[in-house]
């Protein structure tokens, strides 16, 4: 550490001196020299009682000179379980509050033949946690760190992950979720865990320690982006250096696509041409074939939806740190049915541009180049009237990706580069073997009649809402509010006008990743009910319905009190808002009924609205996220959807997580998953599931897809997304992930394309072949 500092800190003596198994907690005064670390555990002695494991075998092993000291901790993770972990948990909380800015570092060796995606979770005694993760490459050793106190945690740059603030050969762990700033005087545990592995893996950890942060580079957030939207400070394999090179790459790819053409053995609509032919109805449908659910294309061929999602320009813009004083740019039409993050390029008028000002120096200084308003590429500026998260609430944006399309293909007439992009995208998909596009496909693809697609819409508007207590994207709608029904009908009418009864439309997704409840805790599971019961009847149609159902079941308030073990004095008291205390088994039974009634009303409203205007197309559901999915929501959806949809960001479909499919027995689809890496991309965050590089990413993609193809209930899987996120974060929420099949310069990742061709060429034979 750079400055010798005297401080008093409560830490187990064993942690400071090495893990000797002494659990006594002692207050000590320690002088930290410029080179010293605060040692948590070095595993030189026997494993102490305050280190425990779950679904993992731990033992001491020789460090083999890889790390400082003679002994290290070997962890064998059991892939038959959904999660496996090792936790360091002292008898009394650690007090790290008096330390200068610091990071938690761990020496990690991966002896496995494949990479290991490891999560680090630090918890305080208030219930908050700080979670990061990283991919440890196969047969590698290194030091991995997570900043827990310091300047980078003090402000929001608008990037999901910032570049490292100091130069180091150590590896920064990537932010995932939780709270960045913990109560450092009361740290109760450090956990290393894996999640949903496809095979057993091992790690060796050593020298868990706290280190003072090095001096921060004052320019670590300055000039990180070049004129193509790429990382200006590092080189990487797919980096484009000139417009000439960009055009040459495009020409070479177009020649290859023309030469190779679409993947063989595909019907007109992408089904299995040489497979069995069933009844063709003129539209996509589902049928169980030899015990496996399948989609059937309009001509009757078996169909499996292998696709990429989010094929649109809307999510390619990034905020520039510029805004306008003219409020006209922030006007929102109350009849609009498209949420902010799904709007395409929305130019700012020349009159409004005169009111331009820098709203965020940090954001504006990220770029080495942005076009002037009279530049030929200025048409790729846009405006965000609101954002989900970030340091600015609204402002100017720029799409480097769309600008690169104009550079690649030129402009023979207005927006001709976008027409060329759509043409090339379809040729790519069919050559790579994809059978359709995924959710969030730009409506401009709908009437091209060249590749099957899924339409989509969102129900937004001024209807009442309820809360799950953890509303990730937005509050939950109140489906008993008549305005919700009205808005659902407006949305589905717009979708129908875009689809025009087109047989190339497989089905329709409406809304996305709703927060039905988090089943990790009982209160999280029934959060919608608990929060709604606390509302007054007059303020909530859903609360009125809950009260009606309770009165229907219980003849009196006394009967309800007897069942719930409560002392509510009257129905009026319940109507005025009741704060739920301890949950009894009887309460949980009723809450489950209420939660299912709530979800049933939602799916009924949406289904009926779709049925009126698109009777020939399948309702694909709401793409439930694993973190916001409850059994009640699944049961409700089954009553009304044609295909169940789930977004599942894991390494694969673990059989234990999907046992419920046998009971549900519905055709199902993965609406989102992805895997990313940063070591060879120039990006600062890999995404939600991590690989070590592009080759490893391709391996993991193949493993994931095979778990879906082999599952008899699934009829498709959609990778999120087609294009890498902007280096400086997408405008809506700052995601800056390597999750694309193409870079921000529209250059395909060869390893991913090779893997895709392998998977899609074997797709139908593996799924339906004898």
- pLDDT tens digits for range 404-419: 999 999 999 999 999 9
Name the least confident of 30-39, 252-261, 561-570, 641-650.
30-39
Residue 392: is its pLDDT beyond 80? yes
Residue 6: is its pLDDT beyond 80? no
Residue 335: is its pLDDT beyond 90? no
Angle, CA of 382, 387 and 389, to the nearest 5°? 135
Q: How far, in Å, CA of 715 to CA of 717, rounded?
A: 7
Per the CB < 8 A criterion, the answer to whether 451 and 270 are in contact is yes
pLDDT of residue 9: 33
- pLDDT tens digits for range 278-330: 999 999 999 999 999 999 999 999 999 999 999 999 999 999 999 999 999 99
Name the least confident of 136-150, 207-221, 331-345, 416-430.
331-345
pLDDT of residue 64: 87
- Which value, in Å, is the radius of gyration of the alpha carbons in the chain? 27
DSSP-based three-state secondary structure for 591: helix
- pLDDT tens digits for range 214-244: 999 999 999 999 999 999 999 999 999 999 9
pLDDT of residue 118: 98
pLDDT of residue 406: 98
- pLDDT tens digits for range 82-112: 999 999 999 999 999 999 999 999 999 999 9
Residue 14: is its pLDDT beyond 60? no
Q: What is the largest CA-CA distance in the chain?
A: 80
pLDDT of residue 770: 75
Report, as an integer, the average pLDDT of 55-73: 92
Residue 32: is its pLDDT beyond 50? no
pLDDT of residue 247: 97
pLDDT-derived band at 15, boundaries 50, 70, 90: very low
Q: What's the mean pLDDT when you consider all of the chain?
A: 93
pLDDT of residue 25: 28
Q: What percent of the chain has pLDDT over 70?
A: 95
| Closest listed residue to residue 442, CA positions, set 318, 301, 316 | 316
Residue 13: is its pLDDT beyond 60? no
Residues ≥6 apart with Cβ < 8 Å to 391: 155, 156, 157, 158, 360, 362, 363
pLDDT-derived band at 3, boundaries 50, 70, 90: very low
Residues ≥6 apart with Cβ < 8 Å to 207: 39, 41, 42, 67, 68, 69, 105, 106, 107
Residue 723: is its pLDDT beyond 70? yes
Residue 597: is its pLDDT beyond 50? yes
| Closest listed residue to residue 649, CA positions, set 620, 671, 677, 665 | 671
Q: Beta partners for 566?
A: none
pLDDT-derived band at 265, boundaries 50, 70, 90: very high
pLDDT of residue 310: 97
pLDDT of residue 36: 67
Residue 44: is its pLDDT beyond 50? yes
- Tell how far CA 364 is from the center of its chain: 26
- pLDDT tens digits for range 437-494: 999 999 999 999 999 999 999 999 999 999 998 898 889 999 999 999 999 999 999 9
Report, as an integer, the average pLDDT of 146-168: 94
Helix (H) or strand (E) holding 457: strand 453-457
Report, as an integer, the average pLDDT of 169-193: 97
pLDDT of residue 154: 87
Higher pLDDT, 339 or 432: 432
């Amino acid at each position: 550490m750079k400055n010798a500092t005297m401080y008093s800190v409560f830490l187990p003596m064993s942690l400071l001196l090495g893990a000797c198994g002494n659990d006594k907690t002692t207050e000590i005064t320690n002088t930290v020299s410029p080179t010293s670390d605060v040692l948590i555990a070095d595993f030189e002695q026997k494993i102490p009682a305050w280190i425990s494991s779950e679904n993992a075998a731990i033992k001491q092993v020789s460090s083999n000179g890889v790390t400082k000291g003679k002994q290290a901790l070997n962890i064998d993770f059991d892939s038959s379980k959904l999660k496996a972990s090792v936790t360091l948990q002292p008898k009394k909380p650690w007090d790290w509050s008096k330390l200068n800015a610091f990071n938690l570092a761990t020496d990690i060796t991966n002896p496995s033949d494949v990479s290991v995606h490891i999560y680090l979770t630090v918890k305080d005694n208030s219930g908050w946690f700080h979670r990061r993760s990283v991919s440890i490459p196969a047969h590698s050793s290194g030091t991995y760190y997570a900043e827990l106190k310091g300047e980078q945690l003090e402000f929001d740059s608008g990037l999901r992950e910032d570049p490292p603030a100091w130069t180091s050969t150590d590896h920064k762990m990537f932010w995932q979720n939780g709270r960045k700033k913990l109560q450092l005087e009361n740290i109760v545990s450090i956990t290393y865990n894996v999640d949903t592995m496809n095979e057993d893996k091992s790690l060796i950890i050593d020298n868990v320690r706290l280190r003072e942060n090095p001096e921060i580079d004052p320019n670590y957030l300055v000039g990180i982006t070049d004129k193509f939207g790429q990382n200006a400070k590092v080189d990487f394999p797919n980096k484009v250096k000139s417009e000439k090179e960009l055009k040459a790459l495009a020409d070479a790819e177009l020649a290859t696509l023309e030469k190779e053409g679409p993947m063989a053995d595909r019907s007109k609509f992408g089904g299995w041409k040489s497979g069995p032919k069933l009844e063709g109805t003129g539209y996509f449908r589902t049928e169980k074939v030899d015990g496996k659910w399948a989609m059937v294309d309009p001509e009757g061929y078996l169909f499996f939806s292998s696709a990429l999602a989010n094929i649109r320009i809307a999510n390619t813009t990034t905020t520039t740190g510029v805004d306008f004083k003219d409020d006209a740019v922030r006007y929102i039409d109350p009849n609009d049915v498209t949420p902010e993050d799904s709007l395409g390029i929305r130019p700012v008028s020349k009159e409004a541009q005169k009111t331009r000002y820098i709203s965020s120096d940090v954001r504006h200084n990220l770029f080495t180049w942005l076009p002037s308003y009279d530049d030929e590429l200025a048409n790729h500026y846009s405006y965000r009237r609101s954002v989900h998260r970030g340091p600015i609430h609204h402002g100017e944006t720029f799409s480097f990706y769309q600008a690169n399309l104009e550079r690649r293909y030129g402009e023979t007439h207005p927006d001709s580069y976008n027409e060329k992009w759509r043409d090339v995208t379809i040729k790519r998909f069919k050559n790579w073997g994809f059978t359709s596009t995924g959710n969030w496909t730009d409506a401009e693809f709908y009437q091209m009649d060249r590749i099957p697609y899924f339409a989509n819409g969102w129900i937004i508007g001024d209807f009442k809402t309820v809360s799950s207590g953890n509303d990730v994207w937005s509050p939950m709608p109140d489906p008993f509010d008549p305005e919700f029904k009205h808005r659902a009908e407006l949305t589905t009418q717009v979708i129908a006008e875009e689809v025009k009864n087109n047989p190339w439309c497989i089905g329709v997704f409406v809304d996305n990743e709703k927060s039905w409840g988090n089943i990790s805790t009982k209160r999280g599971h029934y959060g919608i009910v608990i929060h709604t019961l606390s509302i007054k009847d007059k303020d909530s149609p859903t609360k009125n319905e809950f009260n009606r159902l309770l009165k229907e079941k219980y003849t009196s308030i006394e009967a309800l009190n007897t069942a719930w073990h409560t002392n509510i004095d009257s129905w009026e008291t319940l109507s005025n808002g009741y704060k739920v205390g301890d949950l009894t088994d009887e309460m949980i039974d009723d809450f489950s009924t209420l939660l299912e009634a709530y979800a049933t009303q939602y799916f009924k409203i949406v289904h009926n609205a779709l049925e009126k205007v698109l009777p020939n197309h399948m309702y694909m559901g709401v793409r439930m996220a694993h973190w916001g999915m409850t059994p009640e929501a699944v049961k409700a959806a089954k009553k009304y959807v044609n295909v169940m949809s789930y977004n599942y960001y894991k390494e694969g479909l673990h059989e234990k997580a999907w046992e419920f499919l046998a009971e549900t027995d519905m055709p199902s689809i993965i609406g989102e998953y992805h895997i990313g890496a940063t070591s060879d991309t120039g990006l600062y965050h890999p995404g939600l599931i991590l690989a070590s590089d592009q080759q490893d990413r391709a391996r993991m993609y193949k493993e994931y897809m095979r778990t879906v193809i082999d599952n008899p209930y699934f009829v498709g899987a959609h990778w999120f997304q087609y294009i890498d996120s902007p280096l400086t974060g997408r405008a809506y929420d700052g995601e800056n992930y390597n999750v694309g099949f193409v870079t921000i310069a529209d250059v395909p990742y060869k390893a991913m394309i090779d893997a895709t061709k392998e998977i899609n060429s074997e797709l139908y034979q593996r799924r339906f072949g004898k």
